[in-house]
Each structure stands twice: as structure tokens, then as C-alpha cells.
A = this chain, B = another copy of it.
Amino acid sequence: MTATNGTPAAGDASGTSARHEASTADTVAAVVRQWRAVHPGLDTGPMEVIGRINRCAALLQQAEDAPLRRAGLSRPEFDLLGALRRTGHELTPGELARETFSSGAAVTKRIKQLTGRGLVERRGDTRDRRVAHVRLTDAGRELVDGVLPEQLAYETAVLSVLAPSGRADLAGLLAELLGRLEGTMGALRAGG
């Protein structure tokens, strides 16, 4: 254990240490401060949004795993079962892939897994024999219905660190960002 580095910024020679977000001490703010010290010319603004979204997502997913794992489910598995539950009808593997934002191959594996555990069932389409239809078994539906309230309660507890108005504002801003993002995402493929 080297005792030489007690303070985060090792070489803050110039007095350009901005004070904007000293009160909210999150890790991303510290990282941004470091970058600004090394590259004073760069606009680090986007980091404060994107870095925090990524970090929040990582922390929240880790937290969400807790109630899910008690039910023996991974998050992708729960997403698949949830898609079947909330749509209320059968879905094909392709539809499930689109609904859960994962690849077709991943969906195939998950269906195989979940079928083996008796949570979903498959049947072939009678018209088009390429396609399959996947539906929840009774056990699968009961599992989802049992886990979802726990999941939501847990999420509510996690988000209770924010005031209700803050939660609403955050949901609104994220909705705006996400809506525009999902609409625009094809426009900047090779841009820069």
C-alpha cells in the first residue's frame, strides 16, 4: 500500500479546478474532473450525462439482480418471460428478440433453457413451418406474477433516494432523450 496518493488529483498545478458539482460527490464527477485536468480544452459535458447513465444502469442492474436471482432468473430471462406476460399472447422467437432487444441466437438459447425448466412452451406454426410460437406455461406465468411485485417494490425502494418530483422530472427527461434517440439512431452511423 503506497501512501503517496492520498488526494485524487495528483498534479493540479493550474487553478482551474471547477467547483460546480463539488456537493454531489459521485464517481463520474471525479472522473470528469480528472479528464478536465489532463485535457483542459475538451468539452466534457457529454460525459456527465452518458457516463452517469452508464454507471446508473450498471448499479441498478446489479441491484435488480437480487430479487430476480431469488427466483432463479437472470435479467434477460425475466425480460423474455415478461414480454410474453405483458403482451398476453404467444410470440415468435423473432418477435421476442425484437421485444427484448437481443439477438435471435440469444433468444433461441433462452427459449431452450426456459423450456427445459417448464416455464415456456413452443409449438410450430401450422401455416408457415419455419416459425415457432412461444407461450408461457402456468408455472411461467405464476413465476412472473410472483416476481414482478417484488421487483417493483425493490425498484421503488432504490429510487426513494430521489424526491417524487425528481423522479418525475428524471422520467420525463429520459423519455424525451430515449424517444428522440430511438427515432434518430440511424442518422449518425459514420458521422463524427
Residues of B within 8 A of A189 (CB): 66
Residues of B within 8 A of A27 (CB): 178, 182
Residues of B within 8 A of A154 (CB): 188, 191-192
A60 to B54: give the CA distance in the assembly, Å.
8
Chain A's interface: helix, strand, loop or mixed, by majority? helix
Given contact pairs A52-B171, A191-B154, A26 touches B179 in the complex (Cβ within 8 A): yes
In the complex, the count of this chain's copies comes to 2
CB distance from A126 to the nearest CB of B (A): 12
Instruction: List residues of chain A with CB under 8 Å of any chain B CB.
Output: 1-3, 5, 7-8, 10-11, 21, 24-29, 31, 34-35, 37-39, 42-50, 52-61, 63-64, 66-67, 85-89, 101, 145, 148-150, 152-159, 161-162, 164, 166-182, 184-185, 188-192
